[in-house]
Each structure stands twice: as structure tokens, then as C-alpha cells.
A and B are shown apart, each in its own frame.
Chain A
């Protein structure tokens, strides 16, 4: 067996804040976020990249943090669910449209898969032309890669449409 205690110092910007930490090279990004940085909003549902609960953004792109080693994000920017809302400058927060939509549309029940859906959906909606109405194909594409065992997805799809509408309004 290789020397499992091999560690490496990494610098990663998490939710806009530069963080320096030393991690074992085998440490998963999901574990580094949850256990080293104590950002427990990112959830681990399968640890084999299928469920999507652990999805975070790396340089703006959704990735499954259980399939990425922490050392692979050295020098990169990571956004987790804790970084999705913006500060309102007065100590409060302004929710991202996908967060607003999830609450409005009852798109979560137990909430365990929710952070992964939110990150995937935020990236998906931000990547499209927000001035246009979203199509059902787009909704299916954005929602289709994550597992949820509670909601049956109907309200998650509804939230996706609602969030797209909010973003369209904001763009107008």
C-alpha cells in the first residue's frame, strides 16, 4: 500500500474566500469541503458520482465533488450551496432565484439532494440566454441528472421553470 499520509497544501477560493488547507492527496473534494472546511451543505449520497447530491461548481462548472480529489482544485474557485445566496450588504442575504423557486414551488422535502439540484440548476440557468423563455427540453436537461427520492421531480421541474422566469424578469 502506498503511503496514505502523503499530504499537500492547496489554495482554493471557496465561495469567494481564499482558503489554504493541507489535505491528504487521496482526500475527496466532498470530504475536504465537509470535514476540513466544515461546509456541510454539500451532501454525499452515493460517493460514486451518480446521485449528484454533492454537486458543486468548480470555476463555474458543475462537478460531482465525490469524484474529484481535493488536490485537483488547487488554484481554482469552488462554489457550494453556502455561497449561492448573495449578501445584501446589511448582514442579510439575497437568495439566488433557484433557491427562491425551490421554496416557492415545494421542490424539496427532506432536503438532502437539494444542494446538488440547486448548484446544477443555477449553473444551467446562468449558462443560457436568460432573456428567453425556458423550454421543456431545457428543463429536462437541467433537472435530469440528479436523483431525488422524495419529490417525484414534478416540483423540481416547476421550480426550474419558475427560476428561469425570475431570471428573465431580472434580465428585463
Chain B
């Protein structure tokens, strides 16, 4: 049956338009609109003394120039703190345009609108902003030292002190047979979608309505923000996320200043206004992630079983906290991974620096947590002379321990209770897939070629699909077309295909008849957004429930027409039929026509339907109480808590002892995201995640100098992996369905990136026998490390004690 498509590697329905140049990204929309450009702060911390726009106003083609002084009402107030938290005691956000102090290079100070972007940038060049420079805070350690304050009224630079504990960690450590402590760092990277942000706004003067296209991961929330900030009634604002050229987290933040300012200008000027972020703007005014300093103390027994874990960390949240402390919370709660940790305490201070804001980037704090836990496992193994895989195995939560309660509170405020999993199964598969037990042979073979080979592994558990909800709408038209919509957005994950597969399977209709729309508030008004690997779990299940609602109604109508029992009916290939009785059937499209008692015979479908329409019972209304015309259904999926996907990665590296180039020669992934809707898409997500993991481990870092200038704000200098830097990836799947949702899904979006830094650090350490405690690591840094007489030595052979 071609309609049973759940689990099949269906080719993507998005692709034809995207490979022929017919995609529509935000910058492709609105030919001829006026163009916005921004004057941004060149200083990391400065007081604005004066803004002189006189020379700019002479430029031919200038339409308008806006500064903070031009913002009125809610626009003149600070941007919202999206996700408050009781431990976020000093939240700070900027203004759409800087008011008096700029807190990072790239903060928007002036918006220019002109006839085109070239002219707009000419205008920007002629605007003179005078600043008084203020002391700059860059990096976690400077923030902690607090010799200077980022925000005058936050003298210790601490935005939040996040703290969770599951017992008396001091006592548990004291009672442990062994303890060890270490400190490690992880630096900044960024999402870097190939398409930057973009906003296009059109004000319709005739009906006083606003339409905004924006490259966002959360169109419904942008809509609410625009309406509130511009004091418009919600129904007068439409927000559409068209084709979006990648997100990876940065586009979940909202409202970006430009998402408010561009519509504001469109309304004020009465003409369409457009803004497309350029790459440098993206580097210095969007968002980064990852930087933390971690101090870890672990207690363990003679067998290597963890008895207590104490994590003290500092998280660099950049200049502002619009997205709350989600990233440190995720680090804190996902750190324990697949392991049973009897007593755990985590304290993370989220600190301000004069740098770009830090908000979720694919993984969203999980890579840091995984780095902490997995490097801890490696150290226990080294200390006891045990195999690293074996130490992990001894600490794993067992299959009969689910649901497993970590007694922690997750990012959604719900308990961290793992729904299901088989972590030992993952480890077994990984060991076989990467050839873990043959590592020594390979090391010898590589050594014969003059290379230093090392192998490392890392495991993770990823909380996916957090609530509160997503919705789905499914409607069958008289033409047979099935319209599906959900409010969350797409940035390349293949939702049009995966959601169509779900509906085809649930409803029994050919996928060719199904059209899926995401991220368009005209079609679906309630949504949360695309983040935290939640689209398949949340909207997938909501759409399945909506399709089931449609199916139930279709069967009810068809049963009436066919004079059959509902339980005897099935839908296949778009035909409702009595099981085992060929010919006793009615097309679903005809049922759709029958579902509406108003049937003007505009088309053949309506004419055909009249043959089925009975005389009706004239003692009852044409539409029964509680019923509605049309064959459609809206439903929502709202989980009690997150699902928890899991996986294990291993990397084999070869290091050239002349150049100290680090080559990832093998990369193995075992992945469990519950039931899989489309394995082709899931593998694609894993491939992409691994590439970002490798980038984060070996190449990508935000090189701020002490003045807060980002020294590598271009693709020339910020090294994103090309094909030549990404290893071939071998993947094995394990499917442990979630018991929490109807489709048994978990989530796959972020998994590929999470263990990259941890397992590559482990592999490099294994290759060179020197402690790796700061990532990413470059060949130069590795060279310096191996030459450093004080570098800590570690054993490079399994079972060899340090």
C-alpha cells in the first residue's frame, strides 16, 4: 500500500522548487521594496554621546533615518525577556536601537531606510556617532573577576546562579573510595545558517493590516511580539516564515530588533520595507553559543561506578539575556547523560560579557554537558586503568530502570524523567560499528605510517520535544486535496515530507494529494516553534491526532451513506470502503463534499456528491449540534514532559606529528530517536549535526580580542568545515519508541552535534597522550601542548594506568 509511508525513505517534496531556483526565501520576496540598513556599534562597551545624521540626509535616495529617539511607546522599552526564571535574578535586554550605552560590537544604533541597499549603506557611512568608550569585559574569567561591570547595576556580572542538587554531594564525595577534580573550557561557535536573517514588511493602508515575512523559527511568536510592540491588534498582523535557509537555533530568538523596526518603518512610511542581514552583521549582531568554564569533581568506587558528581561552571551569556538561562539549564540537566549518578550537584553562574548574546545553537547547552560528563568518564577509566567503554557500561542506566527519574528540573520546568531507552544497546552497537576492540592494531598500523592514532567515544541523552504544545490542522477538500498545516516553522528539516507521510499513513490518502504548510500564521495561529528537536514529536503527533479526527468524521459520514458499521470501514488510496466488500465504497473527496450541507454544484465533485446525499431528517438541523460543516479537524499535542532520545558516537583521529594536523578518519554514530518517520531525513540530520560537531571541536571559534572586537567575523577567518574537513560517517540506528506520544517519536534534529567535542577531545588525548582540557583545539595549540613540559600525561593504551 502506497499510503502506509510512515518509516519509509520518501524523497522530499520540498526539493523540486529548491533545485530549480523557485524557492522563496525572505530576500526573494518583495521586489522593489525600500531597503533598511543599520549603523552598528564599533565598540564593545561605550556611551553614545551624539548621533549626527545631517550629512546623511543629503544622500539622494534616503527615505528615513531612525534612532532611539524615534521609538515610541513599547518600542522605546527594553526588548522582552522571553523566558524568565526565578534564578535569573538580573535579566538585562537591549533596546531595538541602542538608547545610551552599547554593550557589544554590532549592536544596532541607527536604522536607515533608502531606495535600495546600496544607497542605504551610503547613508549609514555618512552618519557620525560619537562614543565615550567604557571598560570592556570579554570572557568568562574576566566576567568572574568583575573588575569592570558590563551593566552598571550588575556589578558582579552575574545574571543568574543556576543550582540543582539531588542529595548531599559533599558527604557523598567524602564517602567515595576515589575522587578526582579537573577544570576544562569550551569556546564559542555559532549557528551560521547559510541564509542570514531577513525581514520584509508590508503595511496595507486599506484595511490597516501588516504582513511580515521573516526568516524565523517562531512565526506565531514574532506575530505576537510585533503586535504588542507596535500596538496593533493581533488579527491585523500576519507573519510568514517562507523558505528559511537554515536556523540551528539563532532564528528562534525573537523578536530580533529588526523584526520590530522594519515593520515599524513600513507602517510609518506607508511602503514596503526590506532588510537582509549580511554575513558580517550575522557574526556581530545575531547570537553565539557554547562558551563555558567547567570545574568538575567526581567520586567513584573501585569498579569505576560514579558515587557523586559536583559540577561548578560559568556560562558566558554575552551582553543580554533575552532567551533567559535556557542554555545553562540544559547543560545542567542534560549533563548526566545515560548514567545513573546517585548524588549530583550542579551550580552554573551565567555571566555577562561585552559580546554578542548567547542563545541556543543546535544542541543548546548539551554539547557542553556531554563534554563535562564524558571527559569525566574518560578520567575515571584512566585513573583506574579500565577500558573507557567498560567504565561507561558500568554506569549506564539499565533498560529495566525506565522511566528513570533524575530528580532534576528540565528547561520546560518539568521533571527530568527519561521515558525509555536502551543505552547498553547503543554502546554494544557503537563498539562493534567503530571496531573499538581493534584500536590497538590500528594504532600500530598508523604508527608504521608515521601517524599517531587515537580513538574516543561519547554518549548522550537528549531531552527532545518539550511542550507546551503544537497543533495541527487537516482538511480534505472536495477536490480530494488534503490541506495540512501546523504553526511551527521549517528550516530544511523536510517537514513538508515527513508530516505528509504521517497524514498519508493515518488517513489512507496518496501523498501526492497532501499539501503541508508550516510557519504561516494565516494558516495556523497557535504554535511554539522549531527548536529542541521538537518538530516531529510535537507537530508530528498533533497532525496525526488531527488526521485521526478527520478519519473518524469521514468514517461516520461514509458509514451513514454506505449503510455500514464504522468499524467495518477502512480508508485506502483515498477511498472509504467496506472491508472485504469491493464496490461498497465512496471516495474521500466525496465524503468531504457531503460533510458540508451547502453544496452548490460549482464543480464535478459537488455534482457527484448529490447522488449520495439523502433526503435528510427534517426534524433535525442540517448541521447536528456539536458537529461542524466540512471534513476537517484541528488537534493539539501537549506532552506531560519531554521525550529523551539518546546516542553514542566514536571518532578515530590520526595526527601528523610534523604538522600536528588532526584528521578525523572515522566517525561512527549510533542513534536512537524512537520511531522514525523518514530514515533518509533522520540520517541527513545526523550527517549535518556531525559536521557541526567536528567544526566545533577542531575549527570554529569566535576570536574576540580584549577590546571585544570579533577578529574573525567572516567566512574567510571563521573556519566552517568544507567537505574536505568532514569525515565519512557510519550510522547505526536503534529504535526505542517513546511511550509518551501516539507515534512513539523522540526527535532527531540536534543529536548529531552533541557528542562531537567530547569524543574528538577523547580521541586526540588518546592519540597524543596529553591531557586535552580546552576545546576546540587547533594544530598549533596541539603542537604547543605536546611541547609543553608541564602538560599532563595520560595513558594512550586501554588498561594502562596513568
Q: What residues make up the interface of A, taking CB atoms closer than 8 Å to B?
A: 1, 4-5, 24, 26-27, 31, 34-35, 38-48, 50-51, 53, 80-82, 84-85, 93, 95, 99, 102-104, 106, 108-115, 118, 140, 143-157
**Closest CB of chain A to B245's CB: distance in Å?**
3
Contact B723 A38 (CB under 8 A): no
Instruction: Determine if B792 is an interface residue (Cβ-Cβ < 8 Å).
Output: no
Contact B729 A85 (CB under 8 A): no
Contacts A43-B195, A110-B194 given; indicate if A152 touches B722 (C-beta within 8 A): no
Q: Which B residues are in CB contact (< 8 Å) with A115?
A: 21
Contact B118 A26 (CB under 8 A): yes
Contacts A4-B118, A147-B194 given; indicate if A109 touches B21 (C-beta within 8 A): no
The contact sample of 26 A-B pairs, CB cut-off 8 A, is A35-B116, A38-B31, A40-B25, A40-B27, A41-B23, A45-B245, A47-B278, A47-B279, A48-B279, A50-B716, A84-B20, A93-B20, A106-B12, A108-B18, A109-B246, A110-B244, A110-B246, A111-B18, A111-B245, A111-B492, A113-B245, A145-B722, A149-B193, A149-B194, A152-B687, A155-B684
**Closest CB of chain A to B12's CB: distance in Å?**
7
Contacts A27-B118, A110-B193, A110-B244 given; indicate if A154 touches B20 (C-beta within 8 A): no
Inter-chain pairs besides A5-B60, A48-B714, A148-B194, 4 sampled, C-beta below 8 Å:
A109-B492, A111-B23, A114-B18, A149-B193
Instruction: Determine if B720 is an interface residue (Cβ-Cβ < 8 Å).
Output: yes
**Closest CB of chain A to B596's CB: distance in Å?**
35
**Closest CB of chain A to B478's CB: distance in Å?**
27
Instruction: Determine if B15 is an interface residue (Cβ-Cβ < 8 Å).
Output: yes
**Closest CB of chain B to A61's CB: distance in Å?**
19
Complexed CA–CA distance, A82 and B22 (Å): 8
Question: Counting chain A CB atoms within 10 Å of each CB, which of B60, B681, B723 scores highest?
Answer: B723
Q: Which B residues are in CB contact (< 8 Å) with A80?
A: 21
**Closest CB of chain A to B518's CB: distance in Å?**
13
B724 contact from A4, A5, A45, A140, Cβ within 8 A: A140
Q: Which A residues are in CB contact (< 8 Å) with B278?
A: 47
Instruction: Determine if B680 is an interface residue (Cβ-Cβ < 8 Å).
Output: yes
Question: Counting chain B CB atoms within 10 Å of each CB, which of A39, A44, A113, A152 scores highest?
Answer: A152
Dominant secondary structure at the B interface: loop
Question: Counting chain A CB atoms within 10 Å of each CB, which of B19, B21, B27, B715 scores highest?
Answer: B19
Q: Which residue of B is nearest A146, CB measured?
A: B722
The 5 closest A-B pairs by CB, nearest first: A41-B21, A110-B492, A112-B245, A111-B18, A152-B687
Q: Which residue of B is nearest A157, CB measured?
A: B723
Contact B691 A153 (CB under 8 A): yes
Complexed CA–CA distance, A1 and B720 (Å): 35
Complexed CA–CA distance, A26 and B690 (Å): 40
Instruction: Determine if B521 is an interface residue (Cβ-Cβ < 8 Å).
Output: no
Q: Which A residues are in CB contact (< 8 Å) with B194?
A: 43, 45, 51, 53, 110, 112-113, 147-150
Contacts A5-B60, A147-B720 given; indicate if A40 touches B20 (C-beta within 8 A): no
Complexed CA–CA distance, A128 and B87 (Å): 62
Complexed CA–CA distance, A85 and B19 (Å): 10
B688 contact from A47, A51, A109, Cβ within 8 A: A109
Chain B residues numbered 672-722 whose CB sits less than 8 Å from any CB in chain A: 680-681, 683-684, 687-692, 714-716, 720-722
Q: Which residue of A is nearest B680, CB measured?
A: A106
Contact A109 B27 (CB under 8 A): no
Q: Which residue of B is nearest A82, CB measured?
A: B21
**Closest CB of chain A to B746's CB: distance in Å?**
20
Contact B691 A48 (CB under 8 A): no
The proximity string for B residues 102-117 relative to A, scoring 1 for CB distances below 8 Å and 0 otherwise, is: 0000000000000011
Q: Which B residues are in CB contact (< 8 Å) with A24?
A: 118
Complexed CA–CA distance, A138 and B440 (Å): 33
Contacts A43-B25, A144-B724 given; indicate if A149 touches B192 (C-beta within 8 A): yes
Contact B195 A110 (CB under 8 A): yes
Contact B492 A114 (CB under 8 A): no
Q: Which B residues are in CB contact (< 8 Å) with A110?
A: 193-195, 243-246, 491-492
Number of A-B residue pairs with CB-CB distance less than 8 Å in the complex they form:
177
Q: Which residue of B is nearest A41, CB measured?
A: B21
Contact A144 B23 (CB under 8 A): no
Q: Which A residues are in CB contact (< 8 Å) with B18?
A: 108, 111, 114
Contact B195 A106 (CB under 8 A): no
Instruction: Determine if B150 is an interface residue (Cβ-Cβ < 8 Å).
Output: no
Complexed CA–CA distance, A112 and B60 (Å): 33
Instruction: Determine if B467 is an interface residue (Cβ-Cβ < 8 Å).
Output: no
Q: Which A residues are in CB contact (< 8 Å) with B755?
A: none
Q: Which B residues are in CB contact (< 8 Å) with A93?
A: 20
Complexed CA–CA distance, A93 and B715 (Å): 36
Contact B715 A152 (CB under 8 A): no
Instruction: Determine if B540 is an interface residue (Cβ-Cβ < 8 Å).
Output: no
Complexed CA–CA distance, A82 and B20 (Å): 6
Complexed CA–CA distance, A102 and B28 (Å): 22
Contacts A106-B680, A110-B194, A140-B724 given; indicate if A118 touches B245 (C-beta within 8 A): no
A99 contact from B19, B116, B118, B492, Cβ within 8 A: B19
Contacts A44-B27, A103-B16 given; indicate if A109 touches B493 (C-beta within 8 A): yes
Instruction: Determine if B38 is an interface residue (Cβ-Cβ < 8 Å).
Output: no
Contact B722 A149 (CB under 8 A): no
**Closest CB of chain A to B267's CB: distance in Å?**
24
**Closest CB of chain B to A86's CB: distance in Å?**
12
Contact B20 A151 (CB under 8 A): no
Instruction: Determine if B798 is an interface residue (Cβ-Cβ < 8 Å).
Output: no
Q: Which B residues are in CB contact (< 8 Å) with A109?
A: 246, 492-494, 684, 688
Contact A154 B193 (CB under 8 A): no
**Closest CB of chain A to B5's CB: distance in Å?**
16
Contact B692 A149 (CB under 8 A): yes
Contacts A27-B118, A46-B715 given; indicate if A152 touches B680 (C-beta within 8 A): no
Contact A102 B15 (CB under 8 A): yes
Question: Counting chain B CB atoms within 10 Å of each CB, which of A43, A112, A115, A155 scores highest?
Answer: A112
A144 contact from B22, B193, B276, B723, Cβ within 8 A: B723
Q: Which A residues are in CB contact (< 8 Å) with B20?
A: 41, 81-82, 84-85, 93, 95, 99
Instruction: Determine if B235 is an interface residue (Cβ-Cβ < 8 Å).
Output: no
Contact B729 A152 (CB under 8 A): yes
Q: Which residue of A is nearest B731, CB measured?
A: A154
Complexed CA–CA distance, A147 and B193 (Å): 10
Q: Which A residues are in CB contact (< 8 Å) with B715?
A: 45-46, 48, 50-51, 147
Contact B31 A156 (CB under 8 A): no
The proximity string for B residues 99-135 relative to A, scoring 1 for CB distances below 8 Å and 0 otherwise, is: 0000000000000000011110010000000000000
Q: Which A residues are in CB contact (< 8 Å) with B752?
A: 152
Instruction: Determine if B588 is an interface residue (Cβ-Cβ < 8 Å).
Output: no
Q: Which residue of A is nearest B117, CB measured?
A: A31
Contact B279 A45 (CB under 8 A): yes
Instruction: Determine if B14 is an interface residue (Cβ-Cβ < 8 Å).
Output: yes
Q: Which A residues are in CB contact (< 8 Å) with B195?
A: 43, 45, 110, 112
**Closest CB of chain A to B22's CB: distance in Å?**
7
**Closest CB of chain A to B86's CB: distance in Å?**
36
Complexed CA–CA distance, A155 and B683 (Å): 10
Q: Which residue of B is nearest A51, CB measured?
A: B715
The proximity string for B residues 1-39 relative to A, scoring 1 for CB distances below 8 Å and 0 otherwise, is: 000000000011011101111111101100100000000
Q: Which A residues are in CB contact (< 8 Å) with B245?
A: 43, 45, 110-113
Complexed CA–CA distance, A143 and B724 (Å): 9
